[in-house]
Amino acid sequence: MILMNRLIVSLDIDDFARAARLIDVLSPEVSHFKVGIAPFVNFGDKLLEKLSLANKKVFLDLKFHDIPNTVKNAARAAAHKGIFMMNVHCLGGRRMMEAAMEGVVAANVKQRPLLLGVTILTSMTGQDMQALGMRGEVQQKVLELAALAKSSGLDGVVASAQEAGMIKQELGKDFLVVTPGIRPTWAMKKEDQRRVVTPSQAIAAGADYIVVGRPIIQADDPLQAVKKIIQELEGVVSEKK
């Protein structure tokens, strides 16, 4: 996989004009963009149209979590939007995840979007899990949810890079791992994220894609920030050879 295609830039921006400008600025180096809940609610169709016209691949990050039939219908509708990747919460359970895949398949689009299961949010710690009545270590719970996602027919999961290697080892190299919570060393302010790693650490751990938002979109020079991340990834690949 081309290194620039392993980077997904998160468009967590509350202004469409700014988001559109950023897409134009980053287009020479970025082929994948993530559209989350806030921008989708604010101006989702306009943003998806802009990305489509720019020939970009979209990770639609809406994290569906509802009763199976509702999620099935939502997944089918999302698949019709020409996206590359989408997700649901693993905590919705097997029937919900299977229904989501049924919806994606029922859309009968030319290129079926990849369907991922969100394991444990990278903003959560073991203490947060305990407050919700979830027992055990974070890594073990992530692996359990990833295994459930795979057995439910999903293509992969969203998980911290801290769990990526374990997931690959247990569930196979073809089971995708997409990792948010990425912070380059030159932008290592965690903010609301907790289980964070650098881009190079994520790729070395086995992540197929990394999702980077604020270190790029809040940078004084977003394109230069992207180039620095890609350069860091190239260093990891060179070391592996």
Looking at the annotation, which residues are catalytic?
Answer: 63
Q: Which DSSP letter does residue 197 get?
A: B
- Residue 17 phi, psi dihedral angles, 5° rounding: -60, -40
72 closest CA partner among 117, 103, 112: 103
Count the neighbouring beta carbons within 10 Å of the beta carbon of residue 22.
Answer: 20
Is 37 within 8 Å of 13 (Cβ atoms)? no
Query: How do strand 114-118 and strand 156-158 relate by DSSP bridges?
Result: parallel
> Given the structure tokens 């698949």, which residue do they identify?
79
Q: For 12-160, where are the alpha helices, taking DSSP H only?
A: 16-26, 37-53, 68-79, 94-106, 126-131, 138-151
Q: Which DSSP letter does residue 203 get?
A: H
